[in-house]
Amino acid sequence: MKSKQNCEELEQKIHELEQEIRQFCSTENQYRSLVDSTSDSLYLVDNQCRYIFMNKNHIDRLRLPREKLINHFYSEFHNSEQSDDFARKIKDVIATGQSLQDEHQSSQKDGYFLRTYSPVHESGENSQITAVAIVSKDITERRRMEEELKKSEEKHRLLIDNSTEAILIIRDAFITFANRKAEQLLGLNQEEIKRVALKDMVIEEDRDMFINRQQSTVSGEIFHNAYSFRIINMSGKTIWVESNIVPLQWEGKPATLNLMHDITRQRKTETRLFQTQKMESIGTLAGGIAHDFNNLLMGIQGHASLALLRIDPSDPNYEHLKTIETLVMNGADLTRQLLGFARGGKYEVNSLDINALIYKTSETIGRTKKEIRIHRKLADNLWTVDADQKQIEQVLLNLLVNAWQAMPGGGDLYLETANYILDESRTKPYDIKNGQYVKISVTDTGIGMDEKTTERIFEPFFTTKEMGRGTGLGLASVYGIIKNHNGFINVYSEKGQGTTFNIYLPFSARHSANGKNGVFHDIPKGTETILLVDDEPLILDVGREILHTLGYEVITAPSGLSALDIYRQQEKRKINLVILDMVMPEMSGSQVFDELKKIDPDVKVLLSSGYSLNGNASKIIERGCSGFIQKPFSLYDISRQLRCILDRQ
Ligand code: ADP
Ligand code: MG
């Protein structure tokens, strides 16, 4: 009975056990399928870093059969650096009971993993930690995407940083982004830029326009053309900026994208060129008036000279006539300056030692104006220039007088010379050749000028001086003379600080110097026959009278063609000399000269013109013309010139 009961109990027990095992197996299966189905790797290691469990995923990842892995050490499958690092972390987790995370690159370097290390307790929460569970997540794809993003960001940054345009984003008036070029343009670093409202750097005159553009763009208006404005950068320099502007959203708010570049240089060149053209047209105008006016003076001068010859010095009118002569000469001085400015030329071109000339001219000023200290810094071995000494002296005197007038309380005057080689970027705005130049600088520490004045100083009759003190012709003639010498002049000035004028004259390879100009005190006369050619009846009349008075036979011709006719018809020897006007309608003096030469290679021609000896006239002189006289000429001038030529063998 007892054994039967025992037997039943045993069977019951077995059944229960079987149930339990089945239950256990199914739970185990559930765990296993859970663990094996995850895309992450799961494994357990003991405190020796020995694998005690791993899921299918991890076995696949290590590409070895399970028995070659379980109970083997982590270090058998990883390099020493990785193994040491791993061991340290395992030790840490066991010691602290805290989870850890790291990122790890696979041994084959083909993947990245995010690993979480968690402590595993023997049984129950507070028991000893005997193992560490590691969940390793494949983050290779995520890493790749991050890297790609970083690379593309880098490319954009490279483009923006190396852009030749300054790129600025302006939002709510402030600069929220600026590339490297923008930093350079504004003279600010990244930190400073963030605190700047660009409109505060824009000069006052341009500010409204700038703000307008910004606001219109933010409200969606599209501008297709660039606009330009001036800013004062952090070094205090005014720069011209040209900018394109488009609206955009920046960090969720409306803003403007501004692409800017510096056009200061270009602007300066444009202004200079414009200035040069303006002077050219003023020159034409002034020259036209001066030319006619000069002929009138010539008439007055002639008649006065004649009247003086026939009048006794005791006559009450003698002094009046003398005064008329003086006044005509003063008038002629003015027209000469104007003509010099307009087109005139070099009267007597020689190789000039500019240093010596500066020394001499400034000495004169220095002696009389004691309140001015003169400093000279004259270059050794200064190149020579081909120039008219009298004209260059005139230029220096004008500049020195201006400087003196600009320093009413005295001051310093600096005179400098230097050799310069100018390239196209320097000469282009002035429309002249590049090459070797001699530079003359005249600097004063006087009252200076503002920009508006500086722009106009070379215009004839522009003066800021009171009546009687200035004619406004000084710098106009300086400009003209320098231009006629194929040089150029520029000016730098600051109000209250002083002014510098720089003159550049082209270097001359030619070396010759000749002195002339004896002074005659009597009026030499003659008896030869002279053909006087001029299109101006007034000149013909007064000229005939003057020449008669001097004893000459005179034939007049009102045009080049009639002059040639007359010359041909004459017995050759009858005409000893031709006085030939340069500027005539139909046939110019130059053409007439060439024709005369064909008729008679030995013909003697004295050129006359209201302009001083300019390019054309010098060319004719080179072609064998005997001399040049500037109108209005006095009886004394012409008498001297005529004898000079006629007595020459
Ligand atoms: P003027 O001396 O008869 O006024 P200029 O042609 O010589 O005529 O000069 C024109 C103007 O240029 C002057 O009235 C003056 O305003 C300005 N200027 C010339 N040189 C200087 C200088 N060194 N410093 C300041 N202003 C000058
Ligand atoms: Mg002056």
**DSSP for 104-117, written as a single string:** EE-TTSS-EEEEEE
Within 6 A (CB) of ligand 1 lie 398, 402-403, 406, 444, 446-449, 453, 457, 462-465, 470-472, 474-476, 499
* pLDDT tens sequence across 359-403: 988 988 888 888 899 999 998 888 889 888 888 988 998 999 999
For residues 314 and 504, what is the distance between their CA atoms, to the nearest angstrom?
Answer: 52
Lowest mean pLDDT among 110-119, 335-344, 433-442, 488-497: 335-344
pTM over 0.85: no
CB contact at 8 A, 222 and 246: yes
* Per-residue confidence (pLDDT) for residue 510, from 0 to 100: 56
Alpha-carbon distance of 351 to 514, in angstroms, equals: 9
What DSSP string describes 605-646? EEEEESS-S-HHHHHHHHTT--EEEESSPPHHHHHHHHHHHH
CB 314 within 8 A of CB 458: no
CB 351 within 8 A of CB 511: yes
Angle made by CA atoms 326, 332, 337, in degrees to the nearest 5: 135
For residue 343, what pLDDT band results from cuts at 50, 70 and 90? low
Pocket test for ligand 1, best of 333, 414, 456, 457 (most atoms within 8 A of CB): 457
* DSSP state string for 470-486: --S-HHHHHHHHHHHTT
The residue assigned the tokens 């001359």 is 508
The CATH number for 349-506, chosen from 1.10.3720.10, 3.30.565.10, 3.40.1160.10, 3.40.50.1820, is: 3.30.565.10
* Long-range CB contacts for residues 435-438, cutoff 8 Å, separation at least 24: 435/506, 435/507, 436/383, 436/506, 436/507, 437/487, 437/504, 437/505, 437/506, 437/507, 438/354, 438/382, 438/383, 438/384, 438/385, 438/504, 438/505, 438/506, 438/507
Q: Which residues contact 465 (CB under 8 A, 6 or more apart)?
A: 405
Q: What is the pLDDT of residues 555-606, one digit of tens each?
A: 999 999 999 999 888 765 589 999 999 888 888 888 999 999 998 888 999 9
- Of all atoms in ligand 1, which is nearest to the CA of residue 476? 6
| Lowest pLDDT segment from 209-223, 305-319, 519-533, 572-586 | 519-533
Which ligand number lies closest to the CA of residue 471? 1
Distance CA 537, CA 365 (A): 44
Would you say residue 425 has pLDDT above 50? Answer: yes
Q: Compute the mean pLDDT over every residue in the chain, rounded to the nearest whole number.
A: 86
The predicted model gives 408-428 an average pLDDT of: 86
- The minimum-distance atom of ligand 1 relative to the CA of 475 is 6
- In this predicted structure, the answer to whether residue 259 has a pLDDT above a threshold of 90 is yes
Tokens matching residue 342: 């307009």
Matching residue, tokens 């020897």: 573
Q: Which is the CATH superfamily of the domain at 529-646?
A: Response regulator (3.40.50.2300)
Written out in words, the top-level CATH class of the domain with range 163-262 is alpha beta
The tokens for 311 are: 């009048």
Where does the pLDDT of residue 179 fall: very low under 50, low under 70, confident under 90, or very high at 90 and above? very high
Q: What is the CATH number of domain 38-140?
A: 3.30.450.20
47-77 b/e (C-beta count within 10 Å ≥ 16 → b): eebbbbbbbbbbbebbeeeeeebeeeebbee
- pLDDT tens digit string along 556-567? 999 999 999 998
pLDDT confidence bin for 123, thresholds 50/70/90: confident
- The residue whose C-alpha atom lies closest to atom 8 belonging to ligand 1 is 472
Q: What is the pLDDT at residue 518?
A: 28
**Please, are residues 55 and 38 in contact by the beta-carbon 8 Å criterion?**
yes
